Structure formats: C-alpha cells, structure tokens
C-alpha cells in the first residue's frame, strides 16, 4: 500500500448539549464543605458521611500514579472541577415526567426505544443524578432491586452496606478514593438466589455540563445461583476544557452466580475516564467483563476479578480503539485466591493515526494454591505509520501446580489482504474496513446482538483520499 | 601498602575510599579520572531504589540498600593466586586468557601471538587507557543499560579498576574464545569488574567470562559491567557464566550495541549468587542486524534472580530475539521484566521475546513482565510468557517406555535447558555449562 488511509470513526452521535439550570450545585473545587453539601442534598446517614470524609483524606494523601501511568494525569486540575450538579431530580418511573431537555438528550441517544426493544430495566444518569429509572414489574416481584446509590444505601442497607467499599477499598488508588468521597448516581442491583434475568439491565451515563466530574458508583450483588447481564453506555458533548469521569464498580457473585458486565464507552475526546472496576467471584461463580473503549482522551481502566471461591472463573474481553489524541490505557487484573480457579483475558486494540493503545495486566497466583490457570492474549493492530501500542503485563506465579500463558502480537493490515480484496472489486477503503472488522470480529460476537450491530457500525470506517 | 589496608577497612560509602583508590590507580588519563570523580558524586546523590520504582517491581530491596556492609578489595594480592589460576581451566582451548582475583590481576595475560600480530588488542583496561587512548575513549562508558541501576552503575564507574579491553580489528575472525576469569575471595569484599568488547567492521570473536568464588562461605558484593560494541558486519559472541557463591549480592549491567548488518549473540547463564540483579540492553543502531539475547537461570534455595531487559530498535529492518528460561526449585524467585521498544521510524522490525518458567517446587515464585512499546506499524513483534510445571503427558510418555519418574523428570528438565545450551557453537563450553547446571539438580 502506497499510503495508509485515515480511518474516521463515528464518534459524533453524542456531540450535542442542552442548556439547563441546576437546582443543586456543589460549586467548583473540593473540600469538606463539598462533601457536607452532597450529604445534605442527598439526606445521607452519618456513616456514609464519615465514609466520604475518610475517603477525601486518602484522596489528598495519595499521589497521582504518574510513576507508571501517563503524565497526562497531571493536567487534571481538581480545583476547577464541579463535583455535584443536579436538578434535584428523583429518578422518575415514567418517561413523561423527565425534564424536557434531559428527555430530549436521551431520546436523541435512543434510550426509550432501546428499553422498549429488549431491556429488562434501564437507568439514565444525567450529570450527578439518575433522571430516569425503570424496571419490568415482574422483576421487582421476584425481589430484584435496581436503584441508584443513594437509594440503595438508604433503603436497603442490610443488603448493600455489607459489600459497599469491600471489593474496592477506599485506598485502592487515588481515583477510587476520589469516587468514594464524592460518588453520586450509579446502579445498586441485587438479584435474589436462583433468579436468572433473561434480559439485560442497562444504565446510560451522560455528562452535560462543562468542567464537570461524574462519579457514579455501582454495586451489583448476584446472590447464590443468580444470573444477570448489565450494560452501560457513556457519552458526553465536546467541550473546550477537560471533563473527568471516575467511577467505581463493584461486583459480587456469590456461590454459583454469574455476572456479565458490558461497557461501551464512547466519551468525547476531552474526557478523562479513570475507572476502577472489580468483581468478587465466590465458589463456582463467574464474573465476566466485556469492555469496549472507543471514546475519551485518556482511559485508564483495568477490570479485575478476585477469584475467592474454589472453581471461580474470571474473564475480561476488551476492545480498544485509539484515534488521534487518544490514549486507551486498558487491561485486566486477575487475582487467584482459591484452588481450581481459571481466568481468561482477551484484549484487542487498534491504534489509528497518532492514537496510542496500552495493555496493562496483572495476573497473580499466590502460594499454596493448586490448579489455577490463566490464559492471556493481547493483539494490537497498527493502522498508520506513526500509530503506537504498548503492552505491559505482570505475571506472578508461585507454586508448581499453576499454569499461565501469555501471548501478545503486534501487526498491521497486510498489503496482501488489501490487494486480495481489491482484486475482487472492493475499494481500498472497504477492504481496510473489512480487515479491521475481521480483526475484532471474534470479540464482537461476545457482545449481545444489539450491541454487536451497534459496534460494527461504530467501527465502520470511512476512507477518504486514501487511494492515490 | 599501608594505604591499601586503610582503604580496606572503610565501607563503600566513605569518601576517603574513593580518593585513595583514585590515587592508587596511578592513572595518567585525566578524562577518565574526571569521569570517575563525577560518577562518585552522582553515586552520593542518587537515591537507592524504592518500592514504587517500576524498574524494581517485585525485587527484594533490603540487601541492595545495605551496601555499607561491604568494603572494596585492597590493591594487593588476595592470596591463593596459584590455586585459583590453576582452577581457571574450564576450557582448554582458547585464544587468550585473563585471571583476576578480587579485582587484582592474578596471572600474566595470555594471548595467541599470531592474533597480536594481526592487531587484536586483549589487555587490561588500565593498560588500554594508557596505550590505546583514542580507541578506548571512543567506546568506554558511552552506553548504559538505563534500566534502574543508575546508583550502582555510578558506584561501578567510580570504583572500577579491574577489567578487560578486547578489540578485534576490521575483518579479523577469531574462532577460539577469549576467556576472562573473575574470582572473589576475601570476606566482605566488593569488586567491580568491567569488560569492554569491540568488534570492528566484519570482525568475529567470542568472549567468555567466568565468575567464580574461591570459597563458599564468604560474603561478597559484585558490581560488574560488560559492554559489547559491534561495528558494521561484525559478529561478536559474548557469554557470562555467573557462578558466584550463594552469599554474593551481584549486579551485572550490560549493553550490546549493534550497528548495521551485525550478527550478535549474548548469553548469561545464572547459577550462583544469593541475589543477582541483571540489566541487559540490546541497542540496534543500524539496519540488517540480527541481535540475539539468551539466558538460562537455575535458582534454588532462597536465590533471587532479577533480570531486566530492553531491546531497542532505533533503525529499520533489523531483527532481535530474546529467550530467557528459568527452572525454579526451593523457595527461589525469578523476575523477568523485558521490554521491546520500536522507534517511530524503525519500520520492518522483527522483534521477539520469550520467557518460560518451569516451576519445580510449591514455594518458588516466578514473576514475568514481558512488555512492548511499538511506535511503527510495519513490524512483526510478539512476546510470549509461560509458567507451569512439567507436562504430565510428557512424563507419561517416558513412563510408558519403562523410564522411571525421577529420571523422566530429570530428562525433561535438562531438555528444557538444551534450547539455550545448544546455541553455543563451542562444544566444550556447552558440556561445561551442562555439568554446572545439572549439578544444581543433584
């Protein structure tokens, strides 16, 4: 190929915003008063207030992890961020009651249709608070709980307090501490023993305000033998200044439970997406993260699974697409903490233009465990001559009864492939598009059907001026 | 002599030690003396590695931060030289040989007179500084591994006095190996061996370093550096057989620098040391080169072998291959942290990196950090890391043929090493290494 074509990905479907007035605004900057303000607005119990304040201390103490991570983190000015913005909304169960500009936002993004089409429940978060939340009635009859974080902690403490902040402790990293201090919104889900949700639950996260930080907090508990699939999508309009999204997601899969957590992240290219996600898998339980990162300026996200019970399984399947000016720093963390546990990581990344994708992984098998297995594959595809990819796995194995294997490869779309397709009448652009889709195809099939169609469209490539 | 005894009683961190040693060197090379002085002050300023330093991830830091336990060895015969020189006989057939005991020359240099006639330089570093100043200045201390041991590297530069300069002129091919033996002997001593190996255009040579201890129960610090420079079309081969005693803390900080059309091989066999930290940086400055880096590690007991490597491709169309194999017994620990860097314009690079860990005990620990940083798209890069035990189906194959389990396991383990050993093109060396390695399983 004489020239390498440029790929354009449709990332603009979320690039619009509505002016809106906020009833509650914690102001700019972060201090103890910000915390008190959030607690007062939400009417939270004292233990939550204490938890938040402890977290704030930890956040201030911890340095940015720039000794291993991107120096871009230093660009975040915590004094210029707005930490809480809401219209005082309680999530409504009826779409008609949603404020008009919020409704229009989600209608443009197609949320109501999606719900009607196939979802078991949906929640839509606009800046700090959920503005809409609904779940099919028969599910609540079965005892399924699907609420926001504030409601979850206040109304079902007997269920959620036990695990809240336990899978990801406050001090896990600087950004989990920040989230613990100022979290708002997110989903708290409980699925009772033996209940298997046939359709996925969905949450939709939207940032509308400039200089805003979104800190949703999600805790999902699948009781013994329960099964669920949860999907989240994220968008924001493009602003001049940087926006911060820092979520904490904790999953607890009790004995024999299965949780599948799907993310399609399409933040605009000025969002710092610094997310901590971890699942706890007890005996024979399974936690699977399916992660697709298309948007944001810098994403740092390493979904993890702690396999605490015998026979637990953990899996991370991820696709990352890094365009000009983007850095997708993603990976996986597998902690084997019981015998006979197995984990699998499959990661594929595509770097376009000056985009940079990074895989970082941790696999750890502590002493005296038996028959733990890990398999890791990471493949990177580089489209342009100056695209960049990095791989930094860390694998620790103790004892002789455990096995790991790790493989990584870097490639480009081969000239032969393109030639072969062009010979059969495809344009160079179409050929390139097919080749890239082929590269991620086996992973896209892991997504639910509706999402895989959407993803294929997102990765649909536009080739312009590439053929000389 | 009184000065020597004095310096021997002062710990490494004392500034008097440095001043005395520089005076004793009796060097007539100001630029080198200045480098040493600069390195000494850098050493004082640089911090010891800390837990948050990525280059020291998983490493045990307690010992490496306690250098004051050691004193540099004095400028005097350590004793027993004759015995140790006699023991320096692992290979019978060689082109030249040096023997050092505690950083002091223990026997006269040996060099095939025919090679001397062809212009091959094989001399101590101090002599080279005086007699081949221009050549030495061009290469000495020009490259550094850049993998986290700056503190120990500056200490090495400030303290180095024993070392070897091997220069093979254009087009000269030497088939027999050059041998360098380093022995450490006196309890609590610190030594700083340095090797500078230059293969000029289209030259070929083979340098083997044997690192041994005179006794098993003495404590030592070793901070060694070896640098290989390969000019266009050169074919250097460099091997280190690290077999210090089990009370030695050793550092080996190496670079291998290839211009274009080079075929090079660097091998490190790790048998000894209590804790061995090694940094190996293969830098490829030219096109058409083929750089191979191999290592074999057989730790047992509480040994820790910590290896950090870099393969840096700065020019297009070169190839590099790295294969590190570890077989772990007892409570031993290995760390392999490797990185391939492909610079933006280094299109057409082929780079590979493989780390295999064979776990032979329930309490051993293998850490593997195989990394890639790729800045060009037309490349073939891959890495693989595996950790596991001997495959039961393979053992079954042996058992089915009447070979008892212990023997089957031994054969499997030795077979695991052969992939590295068979790459030596010197059968005597291969046989010596086989014996050394297999001894760790008896």
Task: Give the residue-averaged pLDDT of A131-155.
Answer: 84
Q: What are residue A419's phi and psi, to 5 degrees?
A: -60, -45
Query: Percent of chain B, pLDDT > 70?
Result: 98
Higher pLDDT, A111 or A307: A307
Tell me the average pLDDT of chain A: 84
- B262-266, B371-375, B384-388, range with greatest mean pLDDT: B262-266
Query: Percent of chain A, pLDDT > 90?
Result: 48
Q: Which of A377, A379, A380, A373 is nearest to A406 (CA)?
A: A377
Q: Using the beta-carbon criterion (under 8 Å), do A397 and B57 form an inter-chain contact?
A: no
* Interface residue A186 vs chain B (CB under 8 A): no
- Whether the predicted pLDDT of B1 surpasses 50: no
Task: Give the residue-averaged pLDDT of A148-177.
Answer: 93
Q: What is residue A14's predicted lDDT score, i.e. its pLDDT?
A: 66
Q: Which of B300, B229, B242 is nearest to B269 (CA)?
A: B242
Q: How far apart are CA A91 and CA A124, in angstroms?
A: 9
Q: Which of B132, B83, B74 is nearest to B107 (CA)?
A: B83
* Interface residue A66 vs chain B (CB under 8 A): no
* Interface residue A57 vs chain B (CB under 8 A): no
Q: Which helix (H) or strand (E) holds B417?
A: helix B405-421
Partners of B89 in the β-ladder: none
Q: What is the three-class DSSP state of A15? A: coil
The residue in chain A having the minimum alpha-carbon distance to the alpha carbon of residue B328 is: A400
Task: Give the residue-averaged pLDDT of A376-395.
Answer: 90
Higher pLDDT, B171 or A453: B171
- Whether the predicted pLDDT of A77 surpasses 70: yes
* Interface residue B412 vs chain A (CB under 8 A): no
- Whether the predicted pLDDT of A459 surpasses 90: no
Q: Using the beta-carbon criterion (under 8 Å), do A397 and B387 form an inter-chain contact?
A: yes
Q: Using the beta-carbon criterion (under 8 Å), do A389 and B374 form an inter-chain contact?
A: yes
Asked whether the ipTM of the predicted complex exceeds the cut of 0.90, the reply is no
- Whether the predicted pLDDT of B25 surpasses 90: no
Q: What is residue A1's predicted lDDT score, i.e. its pLDDT?
A: 37
- Each residue's pLDDT tens digit, B163-200: 999 999 999 999 999 999 999 999 999 999 999 999 99
Query: Scanning the structure block, which residue is given the tokens 């697409």?
Result: A321
Q: What is residue A92's predicted lDDT score, i.e. its pLDDT?
A: 64
Task: Give the residue-averaged pLDDT of B53-63.
Answer: 93
Show residues of chain B in contact with A402, CB under 8 Å: 359, 387-388
Q: Which of B301, B303, B322, B295 is nearest to B311 (CA)?
A: B322
Q: How far apart are CA B63 and CA B44, in angstroms?
A: 18
The residue in chain A having the minimum alpha-carbon distance to the alpha carbon of residue B381 is: A410
Domain ranges of chain A: 24-458
The distance of A396 to chain B (nearest Cα, Å) reads 4
Q: What is residue A21's predicted lDDT score, i.e. its pLDDT?
A: 72
DSSP string, A332-394: EEEEE-STT-EEEEEEEEEE-TT-EEEEEEEEEE-TT--S-EEEEEEEEEE-STT-EEEEEEE
The residue in chain B having the minimum alpha-carbon distance to the alpha carbon of residue A68 is: B54
Q: What are residue B206's phi and psi, to 5 degrees?
A: -135, 120
Task: Give the pLDDT band of residue A131 (cuts 50, 70, 90).
Answer: low
The distance of A312 to chain B (nearest Cα, Å) reads 20
Nearest to B377 among A387, A401, A405 (CB): A387
* Interface residue B391 vs chain A (CB under 8 A): no
Using CA of residue B111, residue B117, residue B118, residue B124, what is the dihedral sign?
A: positive
Span of B10-14, B83-87, B129-133 with lowest mean pLDDT: B10-14
- Each residue's pLDDT tens digit, B135-149: 999 999 999 999 999
Model-level pTM? 0.88
The residue in chain B having the minimum alpha-carbon distance to the alpha carbon of residue A390 is: B373
Q: What is residue A208's predicted lDDT score, i.e. its pLDDT?
A: 76
CA triple B381-B386-B392, angle to 5 deg: 140
Report residue A201 CA to chain centroid gap. 15
The distance of B342 to chain A (nearest Cα, Å) reads 9
Domain ranges of chain B: 2-285, 392-442
The distance of B311 to chain A (nearest Cα, Å) reads 14
| Token duo for residue B165 | 């300069």
Q: Using the beta-carbon criterion (under 8 Å), do B368 and A410 form an inter-chain contact?
A: no
* Interface residue A367 vs chain B (CB under 8 A): yes
Task: Give the pLDDT band of residue B3 (cuts 50, 70, 90).
Answer: very low
- Whether the predicted pLDDT of A198 surpasses 60: yes
Q: How far apart are CA A176 and CA A160, in angstroms?
A: 18
* Interface residue B85 vs chain A (CB under 8 A): no
Task: Give the residue-averaged pLDDT of A295-312.
Answer: 95
Show residues of chain B in contact with A396, CB under 8 Å: 58, 365-368
Ramachandran region, residue B261 (left: φ > 0; alpha: ψ -120 to 50; beta: rest) = left
The residue in chain B having the minimum alpha-carbon distance to the alpha carbon of residue A382 is: B377
Q: Using the beta-carbon criterion (under 8 Å), do A410 and B370 form an inter-chain contact?
A: no
Q: What is residue A5's predicted lDDT score, i.e. its pLDDT?
A: 43
Show residues of chain A in contact with B60, CB under 8 Å: none
- Whether the predicted pLDDT of A148 surpasses 80: yes
DSSP string, A39-58: HHHHT--HHHHHHHHHHHHH
Show residues of chain A in contact with B368, CB under 8 Å: 393-397, 404, 406
- A440-444, B75-79, B357-361, B437-441, range with greatest mean pLDDT: B357-361
Interface of B with A in 55-74 (CB under 8 A): 57-58
Query: Percent of chain A, pLDDT > 70?
Result: 82
Span of A123-127, A350-354, B229-233, B391-395 with lowest mean pLDDT: A123-127
Using CA of residue B137, residue B140, residue B145, residue B146, what is the dihedral sign?
A: negative
* Interface residue A364 vs chain B (CB under 8 A): no
Q: Using the beta-carbon criterion (under 8 Å), do A408 and B372 form an inter-chain contact?
A: yes
């Amino acid at each position: 190929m004489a020239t390498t074509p440029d790929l354009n990905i449709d990332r603009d479907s979320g690039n619009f915003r509505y002016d809106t007035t906020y009833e509650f605004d914690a102001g700019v900057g972060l201090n103890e008063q910000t915390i008190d303000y959030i607690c007062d607005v939400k009417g939270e119990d004292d233990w939550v207030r204490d938890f938040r304040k402890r977290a704030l201390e930890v956040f201030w103490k911890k340095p940015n992890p720039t000794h291993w991570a991107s120096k871009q983190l230093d660009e975040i000015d915590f004094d210029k961020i707005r930490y809480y913005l809401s219209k005082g909304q309680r999530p409504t169960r009826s779409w008609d009651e949603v404020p008009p500009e919020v409704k229009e936002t989600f209608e443009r993004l197609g949320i109501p249709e999606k719900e009607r089409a196939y979802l078991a429940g949906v929640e839509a978060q606009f800046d700090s608070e959920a503005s809409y939340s609904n779940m099919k009635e028969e599910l609540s009859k079965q005892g399924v709980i699907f609420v926001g974080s504030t409601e979850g902690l206040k109304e079902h403490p007997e269920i959620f307090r036990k695990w809240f902040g336990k899978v990801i402790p406050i001090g896990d990293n600087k950004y989990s501490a920040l989230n613990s201090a100022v979290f708002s919104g997110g989903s708290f889900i409980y699925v009772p023993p033996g209940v298997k949700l046939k359709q996925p639950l969905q949450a939709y996260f939207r940032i509308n305000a400039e200089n805003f930080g979104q800190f949703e907090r999600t805790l999902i508990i699948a009781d013994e033998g329960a099964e669920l699939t949860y999907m989240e999508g994220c968008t924001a309009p493009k602003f001049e200044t940087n926006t911060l999204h820092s979520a904490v997601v904790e999953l607890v899969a009790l004995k024999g439970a299965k949780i599948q957590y799907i993310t399609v992240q399409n933040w605009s290219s000025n969002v710092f997406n610094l997310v901590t996600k971890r699942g706890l898998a007890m005996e024979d339980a399974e936690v699977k993260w399916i992660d697709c990162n298309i948007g944001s300026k810098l994403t740092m996200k390493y979904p993890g699974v702690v396999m605490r019970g015998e026979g637990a399984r953990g899996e991370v399947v991820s696709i990352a697409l890094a365009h000009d000016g983007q850095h997708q720093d993603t990976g996986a963390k597998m902690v084997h903490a019981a015998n006979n546990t197995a984990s699998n990581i499959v990661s594929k990344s595509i770097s376009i233009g000056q985009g940079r994708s990074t895989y970082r992984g941790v696999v750890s098998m502590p002493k005296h465990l038996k028959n733990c297995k890990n398999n890791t594959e990471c493949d990177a595809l580089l489209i342009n001559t100056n695209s960049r990819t990095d791989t930094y796995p860390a694998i620790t194995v103790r004892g002789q009864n455990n096995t790991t294997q790790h493989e990584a490869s870097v490639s480009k779309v081969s000239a032969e492939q393109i030639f072969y397709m062009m010979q059969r009448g495809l344009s160079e652009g179409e050929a390139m598009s097919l080749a890239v889709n082929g590269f991620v195809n086996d992973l896209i099939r892991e997504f639910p059907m509706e999402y895989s169609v959407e993803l294929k469209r997102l990765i649909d490539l536009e080739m312009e001026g590439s053929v000389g | 002599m009184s000065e020597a005894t004095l310096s021997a009683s002062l710990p490494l961190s004392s500034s008097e030690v440095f001043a005395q040693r520089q005076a004793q060197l009796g060097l007539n090379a100001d630029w080198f003396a200045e480098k040493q002085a600069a390195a000494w002050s850098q050493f004082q300023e640089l911090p010891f590695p800390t837990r948050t330093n990525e280059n020291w991830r998983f490493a045990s830091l307690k010992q490496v931060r306690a250098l004051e336990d050691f004193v540099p060895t004095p400028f005097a015969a350590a004793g027993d030289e004759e015995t140790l020189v006699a023991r320096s006989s692992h290979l019978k057939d060689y082109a030249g040989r040096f023997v050092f005991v505690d950083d002091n020359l223990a026997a006269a240099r040996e060099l095939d007179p025919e090679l001397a006639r062809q212009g091959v330089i094989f001399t101590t570093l101090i002599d080279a500084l005086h007699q081949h100043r221009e050549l030495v200045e061009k290469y000495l201390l020009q490259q550094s591994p850049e993998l986290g041991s700056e503190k120990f590297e500056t200490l090495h530069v400030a303290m180095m006095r024993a070392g070897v300069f091997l220069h093979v002129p254009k087009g000269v091919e030497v088939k027999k190996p050059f041998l360098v033996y380093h022995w450490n002997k006196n309890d609590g001593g610190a030594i700083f061996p340095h090797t500078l190996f230059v293969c000029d255009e289209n030259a070929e040579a083979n340098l083997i370093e044997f690192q041994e201890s005179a006794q098993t129960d003495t404590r030592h610090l070793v901070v060694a550096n070896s640098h290989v420079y390969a000019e266009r079309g050169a074919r250097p081969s460099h091997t280190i057989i690290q077999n210090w005693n089990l009370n030695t803390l050793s550092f080996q900080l190496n670079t291998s620098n290839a211009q274009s059309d080079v075929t090079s091989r660097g091998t490190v066999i790790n048998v000894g040391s209590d804790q061995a930290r090694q940094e190996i940086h293969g830098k490829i400055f030219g096109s058409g080169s083929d750089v191979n880096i191999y290592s074999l590690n057989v730790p047992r007991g509480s040994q820790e072998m910590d290896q950090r490597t870099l393969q840096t491709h700065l020019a297009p169309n070169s190839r590099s291959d790295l294969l590190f194999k570890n077989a772990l017994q007892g409570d031993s620990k290995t760390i392999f942290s490797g990185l391939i860097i492909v610079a933006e314009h280094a299109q057409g690079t082929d780079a590979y990196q493989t780390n295999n860990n064979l776990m032979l005990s329930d309490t051993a620990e293998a850490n593997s950090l195989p990394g890639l940083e790729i800045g060009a798209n037309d490349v073939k890069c891959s890495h693989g890391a595996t950790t596991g035990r001997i495959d039961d189906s393979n053992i079954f194959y042996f058992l089915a043929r009447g070979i008892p389990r212990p023997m089957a396991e031994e054969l499997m383990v030795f077979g695991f090493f052969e992939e590295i050993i068979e790459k030596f093109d010197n059968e005597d060396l291969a046989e010596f290494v086989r014996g050394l390695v297999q001894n760790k399983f008896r």
